[in-house]
Structure formats: structure tokens, C-alpha cells
A and B are shown apart, each in its own frame.
Chain A
Amino acid sequence: MIDQQRGRSMPLRSLDREVPEIAVRGDAQPRALTDVLVRDTTVAYAFIAPAFFLLLFLVAYPFALSVWLSFSDARVGEMGSFVGLENFQRLLTSSIFLQTLQNSIIFTALALSAKTVFGMILALLLFRIGMFKRLIRGAVLLPFIVPTALSTLVWWWMFEPLYSVVNWTLKALHIVSRDVPWLPDPYLAMFTVVLVNTWRGLPFFAICLLAGLVAIPREMYEAAESDGASAMGRFWYITVPLLKPVLAVVILFSTIFTLADFNIVYVLTKGGPMNMTHLFATYSFALGLQGGQISQGAAVSLFLFPILLLVVFVQLRMVRKSSTYE
């Protein structure tokens, strides 16, 4: 990663800086260098300390606590005692949890596919747009910026059973003859939460992929064009391979945050109907806070952790690999 480059250049740089001092001191050269390194280390630790302790007490400690809770029979307000894997065993035999697991996979797979495909299309369009560039980019990015909890409210209103603007339009166009039960129907409810997640996440994909497209050298396309490559050929053999690193990072990044989504599902369906839209976060909330079974709730949210680790692992590996080619 970047650290490797830093590793190579850093001692040299400290040496550079100390050259005048060393020249004056003459024989004290080795000590001066150690001095600087010690001084830099102290400064570095002093600068990092506030962030370090914050993350230690409010991220690392809660995480450890979460692991402990998931192995205990704690309830809200009491510490509980160690029960081993009981919580996980109970979860894996609970039909609601298995439903949540299935929902999470379906939700993430659908939302990610939609965001990738449409994000790619949108990025390609935005890339070529010249007039009103800022205006259009600004408009398209807006859903990502406004508070999700509040913008999901308007989606709820748009799918409200009696006054839904979507149903009104569909009926006015004679596509359907009666109201579509968007939120009361389990499958349509899943469709709706995926739709809203896509609405919110699409700008992130489009803007990141756009940044990736801008970075591709124009000469590549010109060369391919003079070799007679079609537009489709240029897309598959130049754009896609060169965009792969960005695409991979964006997808990995979004996998975590799509899987861990809370706001959209909580506001729109609260996990219903019949637990058919519960995700790890909302089910963990329902079990741990509303049900008071904090140990079970912690166990549910810990299911996010392996995916987090996987993403971190793949991403670090990719960053390392790309820096060796630099």
C-alpha cells in the first residue's frame, strides 16, 4: 500500500532534513538520526493518541462487548453469564432468523445488481454529457445527500395503500385496474425496499464509476477506434477491464453498507409484512432493543462481521497488488 512507499522514502527524508545539523555536529551523526526518529515517533503517537483512544473505547471495546454479549444470556440492564454458542444455535434454528438471512441475501444481491448495472449506464451517460454537466450531475447525486430517514418517508407516502401516487398513475394509464398492495404484500414490499435502496445508492455508484472513466487515457479509445473496434468492443475490451479495480472497490464497499442497511427498511416496513423484509440490522434492533434480548440481538448483528472481514481482506489485497505495479 501507500505505507510501503512511505517506508522506503521516510528514513531518507529525515536524513535529508538533518544534513545541516549533522554537518555542524560532525561525529555525532548516528545519534542525531536516532534522535530525530525518536522525536518523530513521539510526535506521531501524540498526534494519533486522541483518535486511537476514541476508537479503542467506542469501537474496539463495544465490539469486544458485542462478542461477549452474543456468548451470554444478557438482557437489557443485566450482564448475564456465559452460555457458549447457545444464542447462535437458537438463531440457526429460528425460522425468523433464517428468513432474515434469506432476505439479506436477496436484498443485497438485487440492490447491488441494480446499482451496478444502472450505475454503469448512468456513469457512461454522464461521462459524455457536455452541456448542463454540473446541473445534471448535481441533480443525479442529490438522493445520496439528503437524509435517508426523511427521504424514505416520501417513498412511504408514494406507496401508501390508499393515496399512492404510483397506483394513481398506474390506474390513470390503465395498466392496473385496482390498487397494487406495495407494502402489505411480502414480495412487493421486498421490491419496494430494494427500489428505495437503489434510488439512494445509485448516485454513489455513478459518481465513483464516472471518476474511474475519467481516469482512462483517451489514447486507448483512439487506438482501438483506428484499429476498427466497435463501440461495444471498446466497452468490453477497454472500459470494463480498466474500470475493474474501481468497480470492485465500489461493489465491495456497497456490499457492507447495503447488507447493513437499517434506515430504509425500518422506516418503510419495520421488517414486515411477516418478517419478509427483515435484515440483520432491523432484526437485531427488534430482538435486542424492542424485545430486550440484547444477547440475541448482538449475535444477529455479528453476522455482519464475517462479510466485513472479507471485504477488508479483499480490498487490502487489491490495494497492495495495485501498488506493486506502480
Chain B
Amino acid sequence: MSDLARWARGSRPVFTLYLPTMPFVFFALFPLYFMFVTSFKKNAELYDVNAVPFWIGRGVTLGHYELLSRDTLFWSWFVNSLIVSLAATVISVVLGVLAAYPLARLKFPGSDSFGVAIFITYLVPPSLLFLPLSTVVARLGLSDSLWSLVVTYPTFLVPFCTWLLMGYFRTVPKEIEECAMLDGCNRLQTLVKILLPVAIPGVICAALFAFTLSWNEFLYALVFVSPAELKTMTVGVFSELIRGDIYYWGGLMAGACIGSLPIVVAYVFFLDYYVSGLTAGAVK
């Protein structure tokens, strides 16, 4: 087929396909674009009801970002989110790998029940358990410390990682492990030296999702931690930039931008992992 013919055939989808897709793309991206634009707008323009809100007409400012760095504990929240998310991710991926391996490979009494239990806890929404968990956290003496989050985030991350990795491990042929075991490796060695290197994409996927879910978590962080300097990103931006009736909209949007940035960067680099993790969660 010549290029011209291909182009002629290809131009019809512009109207039947690309044009109808545009509203969806616009709907998905406009709020994020608006967040970005607002964060660079001067207050005079921001609070002028007659100014066109879609772009920046009267000069760009970094004032909102300065306000965030200077007058709030923004960077502490950022670091807190980073610490909690990294710690929770490492814990969850390790526990997930360990639990997924026997569920995918071994037959043992109670394996079915444990599989179902993992599945149920995977579906338990955090809003079902936050009240009793706050009691448990208080009794463990972890209230108002980052530990409360490092310990509780794995409650929803471990089931997710286990479920995802279980599916992934099953796709790896078991023959390669059997060879290693015949050569005298024990189960742990086989898992670490043989299965994990092959299953690296699954592990990356689990880690990315665990990190994203921890970074985005809001309810537990809101309930378990109240001192301003210990808050995570999501809670800090929301609760410290709204003082009574005063809303620092520019600052809120600047905080939302930087708060979303690490996830968006990871997303751009690992898009395919996100897509496969997302569908694995529901379709498998």
C-alpha cells in the first residue's frame, strides 16, 4: 500500500476515532493543567473575576512555591511522605514475595484458606478499619509518629503485592526452579537466586504500586498523625494551607503540583508497569 493510500484510509479515523476521544483526554487532563497554571499565577490575576482563567496573562510568579517553602513545613511533609512510602514499600514487597511464593508453588494445608484471606483483605477498604486501627495504633504507642503509617500501610499493600506477585510467579515455568533444587538449593535460595531474577518485572510493578498507594494515602495519615511537622504530603497540603476561612489557593495548587510530581515522573517512565499492575488487580 502506498503512503498516499494509507493516508487516505487513515484520515477517516480522525473524525470517527480521534475527535470523539478528545473530550475524554480533555476531561482527564484539564484539572491537572489548571492545577499547574494556577500555581504560577500572581494573586492579583488569580482573584480577578474578570481575568481569563485558562492561561497566565499578567506574568508568571514563583511566589506560591516560595510561600510553600518559607512559611510552611512543606519539605518536611515531602520527606515524611518519602520515608513512609519507601519503608512501607520495602516491607510490603518483601512480605508479598515471601507469601506469594508458597501460594503460587506449594501445596500445603490451609493454602486455599490463606489465598481467600489474602483476597478478602485485598478488598477491605481503609475506611472500614480506620477507627479500630487508631485504637490499636494508640495502644502500641505509635500515635503521632511516622511508625504508625509504616506499620499500617502494609495492611493494604501486602495483600495487593501478594496477589499481584502470585499471578506473576505462576507465569514463570517451574522447571528452572526444579533444576536448581536438584542441584541442592533450598527453597529460599531458589526463590532469591532463580525465581526473583526472572520475576523482576513483577517485583518492579508491585513496588511501583506500593509506593504510589503509600504516597497517595490520605485517611490513615490524617487520623494517626496530628503534629504539623510529622504530617505527610497529602495531609499537610490539605490541612495546613487552609487556615479558617483563608484559602491559599496558589499555595494549595503549588503543593498539589509538587506532591503529584514524583508519582507522575515514575508514571512517565514506567507506564507499562502501571497498566499491567492495574489490570492484574482486577482482571486476573
Interface residue tally for chain B (C-beta within 8 Å): 103
A125 within 8 A of B: yes
**Nearest-neighbor residue (CB-CB) of A299 within chain B:** B131
Whether B125 pairs with A257 at a CB distance below 8 angstroms is yes
Whether A304 pairs with B127 at a CB distance below 8 angstroms is yes
B17 within 8 A of A: yes
Determine which of A2, A47, A57, A140 lies in contact with B170 in the assembled complex, contact meaning CB atoms within 8 Å: A2
Whether A129 pairs with B283 at a CB distance below 8 angstroms is no
- Please encode chain A, from 219 to 260, with 1 for each CB lying within 8 Å of some chain B CB and 0 for all others: 000000000000000000000000000100110010011001
CB-contacts of A65-80 with B (<8 A): 65-66, 69
A128 within 8 A of B: yes
Binds B, one of A22-30, A86-94, A151-159, A181-189: A151-159
**Nearest-neighbor residue (CB-CB) of B258 within chain A:** A150
Determine which of B49, B271, B279 lies in contact with A208 in the assembled complex, contact meaning CB atoms within 8 Å: B279
Determine which of A1, A6, A155, A253 lies in contact with B282 in the assembled complex, contact meaning CB atoms within 8 Å: A253
Whether A145 pairs with B264 at a CB distance below 8 angstroms is yes
A321 within 8 A of B: no
C-alpha spacing A148/B212, complex, angstroms = 11
Whether B53 pairs with A140 at a CB distance below 8 angstroms is no
C-alpha spacing A143/B98, complex, angstroms = 32
C-alpha spacing A177/B118, complex, angstroms = 54
Question: Which residues from chain B contact A118 at a C-beta distance below 8 Å?
Answer: 24
Determine which of A149, A199, A204 lies in contact with B238 in the assembled complex, contact meaning CB atoms within 8 Å: A149
Judged by DSSP, the binding face of B is: helix
Judged by DSSP, the binding face of A is: helix
B198 within 8 A of A: no
Question: Which residues from chain B contact A165 at a C-beta distance below 8 Å?
Answer: 34, 53-54
Question: Which residues from chain A contact B133 at a C-beta distance below 8 Å?
Answer: 58, 62
Whether B131 pairs with A151 at a CB distance below 8 angstroms is no
Binds B, one of A48-56, A95-103, A105-113: A48-56
Whether A136 pairs with B155 at a CB distance below 8 angstroms is no
CB-contacts of A259-300 with B (<8 A): 260-263, 266-267, 280-281, 284-285, 288-289, 294, 297-298
B182 within 8 A of A: yes
Whether B24 pairs with A3 at a CB distance below 8 angstroms is no
A48 nearest CB across to chain B (Å): 5
Whether A41 pairs with B278 at a CB distance below 8 angstroms is no
B15 within 8 A of A: no
B175 nearest CB across to chain A (Å): 10
**Nearest-neighbor residue (CB-CB) of A155 within chain B:** B31
Question: Which residues from chain A contact B32 at a C-beta distance below 8 Å?
Answer: 142-143, 146, 151, 154
**Nearest-neighbor residue (CB-CB) of B50 within chain A:** A168
Whether A262 pairs with B127 at a CB distance below 8 angstroms is yes
B87 nearest CB across to chain A (Å): 14
Once A16-B178, A263-B219, A312-B119 are accepted as A-B contacts, the answer to whether A304 and B125 lie under 8 Å apart by CB is yes
A18 nearest CB across to chain B (Å): 10
A325 within 8 A of B: no
Interface residue tally for chain A (C-beta within 8 Å): 106
Whether A199 pairs with B21 at a CB distance below 8 angstroms is no
C-alpha spacing A202/B10, complex, angstroms = 28
C-alpha spacing A142/B159, complex, angstroms = 24
Whether A145 pairs with B263 at a CB distance below 8 angstroms is yes
Partner-A contacts on B (CB < 8 A): 10, 13, 17-18, 20-21, 24-25, 27-29, 31-32, 34-35, 38, 46-47, 49, 53-54, 94-96, 98-99, 101-103, 106-109, 111-112, 114-121, 123-136, 151-152, 154-155, 158-159, 162, 170, 174, 178, 181-182, 186-188, 212, 215-216, 218-219, 223, 233-235, 237-238, 247, 249, 252-253, 255-256, 259-260, 263-264, 267-268, 271, 274-275, 278-279, 281-283
Partner-B contacts on A (CB < 8 A): 1-3, 6-7, 10-11, 13, 16-17, 20, 40-41, 43-45, 47-48, 50-52, 54-55, 57-59, 61-63, 65-66, 69, 118, 121-122, 125-126, 128-131, 134, 136-151, 153-155, 157-158, 160, 162-163, 165, 168, 199, 202-204, 207-208, 211-212, 246, 249-250, 253, 256-257, 260-263, 266-267, 280-281, 284-285, 288-289, 294, 297-298, 301-302, 304-305, 308, 311-312, 315-316
Q: List 22 A-B contacts (CB under 8 A).
A: A10-B106, A11-B107, A40-B107, A43-B186, A48-B103, A51-B158, A54-B95, A58-B133, A59-B124, A69-B131, A129-B18, A131-B10, A146-B263, A148-B218, A158-B31, A163-B46, A163-B249, A199-B28, A211-B279, A256-B123, A285-B127, A312-B123
A126-B21, A140-B25, A148-B218 known; 10 new pairs, CB 8 Å cut-off, are A13-B174, A17-B181, A121-B20, A129-B13, A130-B13, A142-B28, A150-B260, A153-B237, A154-B35, A260-B128
